[in-house]
Amino acid sequence: MSVAKALATCLLALLLQGWAIAAGLSAESSDVLLRPADDFWDQQAPKQFRVRFTTSEGDFVVEAHRAWAPLGVDRFYNLVRAGFFDDSRFFRIREDYIAQFGISGDPAVSAIWKNRTVEDDPVRGANTRGTVAFAMTGPDTRTTQPYINLVDNIHLDDQGFAPFGQVIEGMEVVDRLYAGYDEAAGGGMRGGKQGSLFEEGNVHLDEVFPQLTRLERATLE
């Protein structure tokens, strides 16, 4: 290898490392979303932490509590660390019910995580306004799709939906998430109409449902 080519290779590596660090990832974990069996995903979450969601409507902050739902919190924590939620869409906003997100805008990533389930946690808290829990279709089927309760939905407690966090800042932003499409942009996991989201990602949503609120970035605070 020539000296010039070697220098160019080193420079490219440094640029990629810089990008990864700027994105909140180590160079080794910058492609971790494509490696679901990596040790990265075994990291236990802190007892309590906060995540800032930057959206096209403004920012809101979720505080997660591992004691509320440890398995769900670990999944949420590692998804945030890996940048899973970045550049995605709030695809299911039902007025006076919930705001749901958590399908990657990149079909290559969403295909890998579509069936990567996590076991249930006991329900230790109520689905009150502002709490956050994972959507599911039945026992042990939680994957990557959290929802935020827009009102008190305590009827979900008996169905096994275990809150793991609470919006502590910016609930007025959550209330502004675009709700005009209701269930049409994908709906819930049980509805069986999320196929286009997994197959085409943001390309599909931005073309057919352009007013959806964008989830630009989720970062640990």
Which structure tokens are listed for 40? Answer: 């990265």
Q: How confident is the model at residue 191 (pLDDT cuts 50, 70, 90)?
A: confident
What 3-state class would DSSP assign to 36?
Answer: coil
Between CA 116 and CA 97 the distance in angstroms is 26
Diameter of the chain measured on Cα atoms: 68
Phi, psi of 132 (to 5 degrees): -125, 135
Q: How confident is the model at residue 30 (pLDDT cuts 50, 70, 90)?
A: low
What would the pLDDT profile of 117-148 be if each residue is shown by its tens digit? 999 999 999 999 999 999 999 999 999 999 99
Between CA 216 and CA 101 the distance in angstroms is 12
Instruction: Supply the pTM of this predicted model.
Output: 0.86
Torsion of CA 54, 59, 60, 61, to 10 degrees: 60
Which structure tokens are listed for 20? Answer: 């990864």
Which structure tokens are listed for 154? Answer: 């305590």
What would the pLDDT profile of 81-90 be if each residue is shown by its tens digit? 999 999 999 9
The domain 32-220 having CATH identifier 2.40.100.10: the answer here is yes
Distances (CA, A) of 110 to 44, 88, 103, 174, 196: 23, 11, 6, 24, 11
Range list of H helices, 47-130: 70-82, 107-113
Q: Is the pLDDT of residue 105 over 80?
A: yes
User: How crowded is residue 108: how many other Cβ atoms within 10 Å of its Cβ?
Assistant: 10
Cβ–Cβ under 8 Å, residues 105 and 202: yes
What would the pLDDT profile of 173-189 be if each residue is shown by its tens digit? 999 999 999 999 999 99
